[in-house]
Amino acid sequence: MNCAVKTERLTKQYAGGTKALDSLDLEVDRGEVFALLGPNGAGKTTLMRILTTQIAPTDGKAYVLGMDVEREGGRIRRRISYVPQETSVWGDITGYENLLIYSKLYGVPREIRAKRIADACSIMDLEEALNRRAKEYSGGMIRRLEMACALITEPEILFLDEPTLGLDPSMRKNMWTALERLREERDVTIFFNTHYMDEADLYSDEIGIINTGRIVVRGQPEELKDRVERERIIIRTREPEDARTRLNSLFDDVSVEGNSVVIRTENGERGLAELLGKITDADSIALEKPTLDDVFMKYAGVRMRENGENRRRKHD
């Protein structure tokens, strides 16, 4: 069976009455990086808790690696790992000691523990920090230590709940570089939750968008973006009707909206080039807007405190 995850009309209603999952259908292939993207409260954590066999559904079915989450929880747990949203390592002991405890807890045989720990640390780039206490780590390093702990059992699926929450952009980048290294070395499926659109866009092979307990759309990032409405060129002018008359010969979807003429087109950059083609011979014009991450990195990134939750600048 090729599915890493499969759900059928999966439903979870909490005791208070909240329906966190509502007949959710989803399939995730093995070997993929899958992003479950959705706003707070959409049901992401609930789904992940069911898939990792921590809570039971109230209705419907869920299978992980072909096994039923309700009947084969033990077998599933031996083949997956989970990093929760909340911190899951001990601060008062060293990174190495955390890894050793995990390897004992999860029954890694004594003779291969050292190798498993070394491999996980090399993938997560933690070698330098191993003998320091975890509470001295930056937010990004703590996340990587948690992932190293999760890798100790060599899982086939790694479930990550909002892995970069509270991390600044440079820490996020380091974390994803480590996960990409993991994928180069091992055949592992990564299933992660996020509410950051750019993260889903940059790092996943496949995205499922979840809202109020249902998957609303599913596909590869590029495919999903292609499906949304056509791009718009908006020209504000005092004489929108005049402008529309002139633009009608160039574009097939031109409308007046208030003080603006709006051109809807598959490719806004080419559309702009066509417009400017009247005065210059451009083939295409690129319009690039910096993302908020770019801005943050440029103006605040180097001054960011290494503690992820606290985003104040040092000189503030």
Q: Which is nearer to ligand ADP, 20 or 100 (CB)?
A: 20
Residue 277 binds which entry of Mg ion, ligand ADP, none, with Cβ cut-offs from 5 to 8 Å by kind?
A: none
Q: Which is nearer to ligand ADP, 40 or 249 (CB)?
A: 40
Q: How far is the CB of 159 from Mg ion (least distance, A)?
A: 12
Q: Which is nearer to Mg ion, 156 or 161 (CB)?
A: 161
Q: What is the size of the binding site for ligand ADP (CB under 6 A)?
A: 12
The interface with ligand ADP within residues 241-260 (CB under 6 A) comprises none
Residue 143 binds which entry of Mg ion, ligand ADP, none, with Cβ cut-offs from 5 to 8 Å by kind?
A: none
Residue 14 binds which entry of Mg ion, ligand ADP, none, with Cβ cut-offs from 5 to 8 Å by kind?
A: ligand ADP
Q: How far is the CB of 167 from Mg ion (least distance, A)?
A: 16
- 280 lies in the site for ligand ADP, by CB under 6 A: no
Q: Which is nearer to ligand ADP, 40 or 280 (CB)?
A: 40
Radius of gyration of the chain (CA): 24
The interface with ligand ADP within residues 2-21 (CB under 6 A) comprises 14, 16, 18, 20
Residue with tokens 């003998």, as numbered in its chain: 131
d(CA 21, CA 7): 11
Q: How far is the CB of 85 from ligand ADP (least distance, A)?
A: 8
Point out which residues bind Mg ion (CB under 5 A): 44-45
Q: Which is nearer to ligand ADP, 208 or 271 (CB)?
A: 208
Using alpha carbons, select from 20, 49, 62, 37 the residue that is nearest to residue 208.
37
Q: How far is the CB of 50 from Mg ion (least distance, A)?
A: 13
Q: How far is the CB of 41 from ligand ADP (least distance, A)?
A: 4
Q: How far is the CB of 29 from ligand ADP (least distance, A)?
A: 22
SS (H, E, C) 220-271: CHHHHHHHCCCEEEEEECCCHHHHHHHHCCCCCCEEEECCEEEEEECCHHHH
Residue 241, number of CB atoms within 10 A of its CB: 9
Tell me the three state secondary structure of residue 196: coil
Q: How far is the CB of 162 from Mg ion (least distance, A)?
A: 6
Indicate the helix (H) or strand (E) that contains 184. helix 169-185
Sheet holding 254-257, edge to edge: 231-236, 260-265, 254-257
Q: Which is nearer to ligand ADP, 116 or 143 (CB)?
A: 143
d(CA 277, CA 263): 16
Residue 247 binds which entry of Mg ion, ligand ADP, none, with Cβ cut-offs from 5 to 8 Å by kind?
A: none
Q: How far is the CB of 211 from Mg ion (least distance, A)?
A: 14
d(CA 126, CA 134): 11
The interface with ligand ADP within residues 29-68 (CB under 6 A) comprises 38, 40-46
d(CA 311, CA 167): 9
Q: Do 244 and 256 contact (CB within 8 A), yes or no?
A: yes
SS (H, E, C) 60-103: EEEEECCEECCCCHHHHHCCEEEECCCCCCCCCCEHHHHHHHHH
**Positions that interact with ligand ADP (CB under 6 A):** 14, 16, 18, 20, 38, 40-46
